[in-house]
């Protein structure tokens, strides 16, 4: 064979690896900072004053801050199901936190890590899992995560090992119960070791969930506060520092321009010192205080900076947005939508849709500015207009009966397509239970 005939084959042998490399380079890294129990208004960018959060605020200044961003759940595990699957947790009846066998994230569900791994990503989770640890098949290493370490659930809860690394459950983790700096170091190392390939990382904090513990340097900074506020503020500030550590490593490696970043919380604030910005309720309830969360997105050079959006978004949107950014698709029906056109400023509004919330007997549906909410077993559904009444104080059911009926019909139709709760958290099903829960929480906090 003549050299001229071999030349095209030679060129193909060179260009094929280059094409693969170019394809990898075109796929952005995906980074999710996932806070735990952080009040909607905790970061300074949302008006928070208790603890400085310069690194969260920098993300807000560098991207889009959503004022009406939601979790799909009002407690830890259900919210995490929504984030990690892009599907309402009610589809699998996962309405409350797992406490025993049979309450894990079902193996029939596909995780964001599995989706992105199929698209050629190296995947990692560092931090809290809380989706089942009764056997290895339910742990992160079996759910699409190449690298996995952190806590199986909340610190100090349960009788078994509290931590995991890879496929193993372990009794102790160096540095705990102060985990934010540990997760920051592990996350920075994960990013550096995968700097030359597309990666996905879920950095899942224990902060600001109890126990309210922090490094001595942060406790010292807030010693002027009350004994209840000081450790909480220190915990929040140390979590913000961890965000800054990871962002600094991104910049050092010149990866910020090729990384789509989200920062949000798994549900609303849980404690009296959580800054809620006037929202009603808190974690455990489908009032705005339980489901509306800090919600940021940034992608330097791709998402215009310093934008504030009042468009309602939900964490179910993270997965379809990540897939769109990665140039990937899925045949699995997702409940979220691709936010890239909104994030990039190509549109100011999403197509009209309803957002649904269910926590056992509690239920809510939002359509535009209207919300119908039932936050307890004995409560009659209440109709509110969130534009004029963000604190959910005025029931408009009597003056807008048709709207209330229409929203109830929408919820009932949606709920009929979901699976009934596989188990319920009975502590939050009625007014008396709520009172008992508040008393117990104050007792634990020493108040």
Same domain, 84 and 145: yes
Phi, then psi, of 116 in degrees rounded to 5: -75, -30
Same domain, 142 and 163: yes
Residue 81 within any structural domain of the chain = yes
Residue 21 within any structural domain of the chain = no
Contact 71, 318 (CB under 8 A): no
Same domain, 266 and 380: no
Map tokens 């759940």 to a residue: 73
- Which of 352, 368, 396 represents a domain boundary (last residue)? 352
135-176 pLDDT tens trace: 999 999 999 999 999 999 999 887 778 999 999 999 999 999
Handedness of CA 408, 411, 417, 419 (dihedral sign): negative
Same domain, 121 and 190: yes
Contact 281, 379 (CB under 8 A): no
Same domain, 41 and 128: yes
- Which of 302, 331, 352 represents a domain boundary (last residue)? 352
Contact 169, 160 (CB under 8 A): yes
Residue 206 within any structural domain of the chain = yes
Residue 221 and residue 233: Cα distance in Å, rounded? Answer: 9
Could you tell me the two tokens for 297? 């997105």
Same domain, 380 and 337: no
Helix (H) or strand (E) holding 245: helix 229-252
pLDDT tens sequence for the chain (447 residues) = 333 333 333 333 334 343 344 455 579 999 999 999 999 999 999 999 999 999 999 999 999 999 999 999 999 999 999 999 999 999 999 999 887 899 999 999 999 999 999 999 999 999 999 999 999 999 999 999 999 999 999 998 877 789 999 999 999 999 999 999 999 999 999 999 999 999 999 999 999 999 999 999 999 999 999 999 999 999 999 999 999 999 999 999 999 999 999 999 999 999 888 999 999 999 999 999 999 999 999 999 999 999 999 999 999 999 999 999 999 999 999 999 999 999 999 999 999 999 999 999 999 999 999 999 999 988 999 999 999 999 999 999 999 999 999 999 999 999 999 999 998 887 766 543 455 455 545 545 544
Same domain, 148 and 291: yes
Same domain, 289 and 374: no
> Which CATH number fits the domain that encloses residue 60?
3.40.720.10
Question: What is the number of H-type helices and E-type strands within the chain?
Answer: 12, 15
Could you tell me the two tokens for 56? 């969260």
Give residues with Cβ within 8 angstroms of 225, minimum separation 6. 50, 233
- Which of 337, 352, 367 represents a domain boundary (last residue)? 352
Residue 126 and residue 215: Cα distance in Å, rounded? Answer: 19
Residue 214 within any structural domain of the chain = yes
Residue 341 and residue 347: Cα distance in Å, rounded? Answer: 6
Same domain, 58 and 124: yes
Per-residue H/E/C for 60-74: HHHCEEEEEEECCCC
Which residues span the domain enclosing 387? 355-444
Same domain, 124 and 187: yes
Residue 1 within any structural domain of the chain = no
Average pLDDT, the chain: 91
Same domain, 105 and 168: yes
Q: Structural domain tally of the chain? A: 2
Percent of the chain clearing pLDDT 90 (strictly above): 84
């Amino acid at each position: 064979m003549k050299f001229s005939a071999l030349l095209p084959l030679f060129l193909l042998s060179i260009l094929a690896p280059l094409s693969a490399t170019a394809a990898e380079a075109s796929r952005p890294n995906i980074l999710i900072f996932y806070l735990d129990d952080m009040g909607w208004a905790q970061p300074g960018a949302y008006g928070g004053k208790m603890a400085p959060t310069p690194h969260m605020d920098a993300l807000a200044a560098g991207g889009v801050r959503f004022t009406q961003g939601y979790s799909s759940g009002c407690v830890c595990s259900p919210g995490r199901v929504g984030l990690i699957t892009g599907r309402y947790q009610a589809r699998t009846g996962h309405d409350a936190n797992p406490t025993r066998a049979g309450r894990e994230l079902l193996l029939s569900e596909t995780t964001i890590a599995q989706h992105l791994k199929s698209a050629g990503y190296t995947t990692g989770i560092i931090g809290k899992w809380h989706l089942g640890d009764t056997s290895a098949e339910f742990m992160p290493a079996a759910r699409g995560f190449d690298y996995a370490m952190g806590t199986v659930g909340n610190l100090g809860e349960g009788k078994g090992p509290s931590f995991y690394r890879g496929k193993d459950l372990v009794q102790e983790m160096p540095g705990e119960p102060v985990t934010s700096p540990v997760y920051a170091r592990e996350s920075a190392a994960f990013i550096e070791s995968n700097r030359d390939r597309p990666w996905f990382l879920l950095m899942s904090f224990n902060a600001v969930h109890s126990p309210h513990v922090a490094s001595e340097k942060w406790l010292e900074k807030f010693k002027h506060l009350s004994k209840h506020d000081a450790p909480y503020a220190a915990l929040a500030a140390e979590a913000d520092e961890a965000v800054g550590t990871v962002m600094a490593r991104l910049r050092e490696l010149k990866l910020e321009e090729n990384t789509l970043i989200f920062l949000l919380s798994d549900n609303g604030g849980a404690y009296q010192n959580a800054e809620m910005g006037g929202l009603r309720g808190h974690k455990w309830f489908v009032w705005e205080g339980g489901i509306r969360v800090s919600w940021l997105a940034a992608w330097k050079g791709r998402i215009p900076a310093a934008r504030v959006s009042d468009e309602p978004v939900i964490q179910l949107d993270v997965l379809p947005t990540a897939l769109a950014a990665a140039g990937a698709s899925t045949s699995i029906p997702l409940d979220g939508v691709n936010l890239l056109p909104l994030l990039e400023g190509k549109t100011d509004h999403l197509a009209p849709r309803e957002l649904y919330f269910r926590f056992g007997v509690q239920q809510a549906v939002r359509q535009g500015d209207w919300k119908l909410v039932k936050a307890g077993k004995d409560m009659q559904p209440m109709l509110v207009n969130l534009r004029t009444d963000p604190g959910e104080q005025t029931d408009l059911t009597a003056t807008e009966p048709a709207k209330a009926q229409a929203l109830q019909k929408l919820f009932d139709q949606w709920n009929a397509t979901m699976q009934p709760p596989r188990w319920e958290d009975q502590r939050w099903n009625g007014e008396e239970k709520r009172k008992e829960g508040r008393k117990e929480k104050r007792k634990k906090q020493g108040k």
